[in-house]
Amino acid sequence: MKVGPERADAARNREAILTAAAELFDRADVETVSMNEIAEAAGVGKGTLFRRFSDRGSLIEAVLTRRAAALLRQEQGPPPLGPGGEPAEALHAYLDGLLDFVWANRSLIRALEQSGPNVFYANPASRHWIAELTRRLAAARPGEDADYLAHILYTAVRADAVDYLYTARGMSLDRIRAGLHALATPAATVPPVAATVPVPVPVAVAVAVAPAVTTAVVPRGG
Amino acid sequence: MKVGPERADAARNREAILTAAAELFDRADVETVSMNEIAEAAGVGKGTLFRRFSDRGSLIEAVLTRRAAALLRQEQGPPPLGPGGEPAEALHAYLDGLLDFVWANRSLIRALEQSGPNVFYANPASRHWIAELTRRLAAARPGEDADYLAHILYTAVRADAVDYLYTARGMSLDRIRAGLHALATPAATVPPVAATVPVPVPVAVAVAVAPAVTTAVVPRGG
DNA sequence: CTACGGTGTGGACCGGCGGTCCGCTTGGTG
DNA sequence: CACCAAGCGGACCGCCGGTCCACACCGTAG
């Protein structure tokens, strides 16, 4: 397993592939985008495509990981999204960040969800987010089953679920957000819940689709 | 479009296909079961298979619909699962029924979830269950966003989610059930929630996998 | 019981998929 | 510049879901 420097053409092709894949996946209906198309759009051969990304799933994961980087960076920034601050607020800010991320990347995430059993829950980014949710829930709602609740909250922001609620059921993103926050609010302190949008919606993350950016993919001599 | 009686051999083959498919799907990893295999296992040609079930998704749906019949029948029985009775109890009994059904048929439901975008939410049985959940939630928790909550509760019993919690996270079915009930409990009346299993677990449905049963498919020589 | 029409059958066949292979090209190095 | 491994690309593979059609067999009319 060579981890060393990548040849210039290889790095260039990796970029081309990731960019082309991201664009095609965003266009629509990820299921219908074939590896052939991606290779062609990226201007590389199929062999090259599969040399960089061993299979379909790992390509999708790579595209998504890059998108997730923005969110992960913010997690290490200042509160409320970053560590520290009041537990309940930290939890709600986190949920907002997650929902915004999912919303911005929903078609891609749907692709990931479809790409194999359990990859949605089992992939590293998800595990990180669930763990973080669990931590914040445990802080905000001691005495409850934080682990279970974290999984449910994370399930509640699954791309296909959110997409279905929005597209097929006509729920606004704000309504979904409000519901999510209500779900996360400790039973003890929950107000009557005004069924509208009482939540602050603070940080909002704004990962958006992002123009890919590269920022030194091959650090090499790190 | 002939809707009348099916020829004897056609009916026999339909049964054979449904039975074989159900068995293969239950064996493991639904994604890996091909239509070819099903046809072979059922002892029919591929043409026959596709004549009865226009595509993969509709075959899966047909198998599942048959399984769901048991649950739907109980819904029209006596309370708490059937109509009438105290709202909160009706809601919890319903969730139990749903969870048990999902548990008993999880591999099949996972197949359905994978068979296309939104088919999990959009198929008739799901819509029915979600609507029923909404009704019971609205009765048990007036003033809240019952529609959203119903979808979240239904999402919380998605086969892959439950399966992941059980298999990968080692949560017992009882723990999952307890979490589900806590989620459904109105904020106002929720006790400290003992993180263990305080729920009654009343009706339990017991749909199980059911040995398919045929009930006189090929009368012929009566 | 026989003749017959059309529904039902089955497996060869199809286009395209994800993935592999390998002879040729090209970037990096001394 | 010479060298050669890393990289490349597209022909190729096995198999998938799905289609097609010559033929079989069911059910009925006589």
Q: What is the pLDDT of residues A121-179, one digit of tens each?
A: 998 999 999 999 999 999 998 889 999 999 999 999 999 999 999 999 999 999 999 99
- Does the distance separating the beta carbons of A147 and B118 come in below 8 Å? no
- Does the distance separating the beta carbons of A171 and B165 come in below 8 Å? no
Give the pLDDT of residue B187. Answer: 60
Chain A partners within 8 Å of B31 (Cβ): 116-117
Q: How far apart are CA B112 and CA B62, in angstroms?
A: 10
Tokens (6 digits) for A117: 């059993």
Burial A131-157 (b: 16+ CB within 10 A, else e): ebbbbbbbebbeebbbbbbbbbbbbbb
Fold of the domain spanning B64-209: Tetracycline Repressor; domain 2 (1.10.357)
From the CA of A138, how many Å to the nearest CA of chain B? Answer: 12
pLDDT (average), residues B83-88? 77
Exposed / middle / buried, residue A216 (Cβ in 10 Å: 0-12, 13-18, 19+):
exposed
What's the CA B108/C1' C9 distance, rounded, in angstroms? Answer: 28
What's the CA A32/C1' C7 distance, rounded, in angstroms? Answer: 36
Give the pLDDT of residue B201. Answer: 39
Q: Which residue has the tokens 């400790």?
A: A186
Q: How far apart are CA B57 and CA B68, in angstroms?
A: 16
Res. B166: pLDDT tops 60: yes
CATH code matching the domain that covers A56-209, chosen among 3.10.150, 1.10.10, 1.10.3470, 1.10.357:
1.10.357
Q: How far apart are CA A199 and CA A186, in angstroms?
A: 14
Residue A69 CB contacts under 8 Å (≥ 6 apart), including other chains: none
What's the CA A52/C1' D9 distance, rounded, in angstroms? Answer: 13
* Contact by Cβ (8 Å): B92, B186: no
| Strand C closer than 7 A to residue B15 Cβ | no
Tokens (6 digits) for A190: 């929950």
From the CA of A2, how many Å to the nearest CA of chain B? Answer: 32
Question: Which region among A195-209, B32-46, B171-185 has the lowest average model confidence (pLDDT)?
Answer: A195-209
Query: For A8-54, which CATH superfamily applies?
Result: Homeodomain-like (1.10.10.60)
Q: How far apart are CA A34 and CA B150, in angstroms?
A: 36
**Domain ranges in chain A?**
8-54, 56-209
Q: Give the residue nearest to nucleotide D25 (CA to C1').
A: B9
Residue A107 CB contacts under 8 Å (≥ 6 apart), including other chains: A25, A26, A28, A29, A30, A159
Q: How far apart are CA A164 and CA A147, in angstroms?
A: 25
The closest nt to A45, taking CA to C1', is D9
What count of other Cβ atoms lies within 10 Å of the Cβ of residue A191?
Answer: 9
Nearest residue to B59 (alpha-carbon basis) of B94, B18, B96, B5: B18
pLDDT (average), residues B188-198? 43
Is the model more confident about A205 or about A85? A85
Res. B195: pLDDT tops 50: no
Give the pLDDT of residue A209. Answer: 41
Alpha helices in B43-170 (DSSP H): 46-52, 56-75, 87-104, 106-114, 119-122, 124-140, 146-156, 159-163
Give the pLDDT of residue A75. Answer: 83
pLDDT (average), residues B117-122? 87
Question: Which region among A71-80, A185-194, B45-54, B140-149 has the lowest average model confidence (pLDDT)?
Answer: A185-194
Q: Do domains A8-54 and A56-209 have the same CATH topology?
A: no
- Does the distance separating the beta carbons of A178 and B145 come in below 8 Å? yes
Taking CA–CA distances from B111, the nearest residue in chain A reads A117
| Strand C closer than 7 A to residue A10 Cβ | no
CATH code at B7-54: 1.10.10.60
